[in-house]
Structure 1
Amino acid sequence: MQFQCDTASRTPIYRQLTDQVRAAVARGRIQPGDRLPSVRQLSRELVVNPNTVARAYTELEREGTLVTQQGRGVFVAEPRNDLTKRARQKQLEEHLDQLFVEAVHLGFSAEELLQLIHKRQERFTFSVEENPS
């Protein structure tokens, strides 16, 4: 996976990196078990402070997206569902509410928003839940 950072963006570089990893996992571009570049390697490639990359990796590890294996490197973690289905649904509803607020402020109708959602969903990999909690 090729990472990029935009130093002119108002979004902090560590947040740009975390967003790129999350999106790559959601789109199936990187899979559980895939190895990511080391902190040093990625900081050299992007010409950023190693602490910035470490912060992104730490945040992704804390949320369960990445796992560090001592002496081996940083890997994409196997998906975990620590939360109940209801808790996960509540979290998603909060994000959807934010999306709807933004769509209203941008002047989109409900139909336009739904069409856009259907068009964009093809870019993502959705899993089928086998054991709902």
Structure 2
Amino acid sequence: MANQNSKPIKDPDKSLGRRAFLKAAAGAVALPYFIPAAAMGKDSNTAPSNRIVMAGIGIGNMGNGDLGQFLKRGDVQYVALSDVKKNVRDSQMARVNQKYGNKDCKTYNDFREIMARNDIDAVHCATPDHWHA
């Protein structure tokens, strides 16, 4: 029979001492300083998980203006462009890559290659009237 006045034995591995508590609290307080603001969506940057991954089809004339407006948004990132004119594709790809500071934007002559990609959330299409369906 157990002594009723005895206290339960504490497991030293499971107890949280003052030092362990202070370490955990300091780590929790310091954590935001180690995560970039862009990852948290702070400083008017949209977190990568909340960005709309876009492609543009028909990026000359009207598409040029549309692309420029979308590039001003922080919640959009272009990864693909398509136009039948190579010089338009190349110049707009350079514009997009300069904006984002990388070389992630790919160009296509055939828009169907863009439609086959599964990483694109939205497509802006600014083709001439005779291409509209």
Higher strand share: 2
Larger radius of gyration: 2
TM-score, length basis structure 1: 0.22
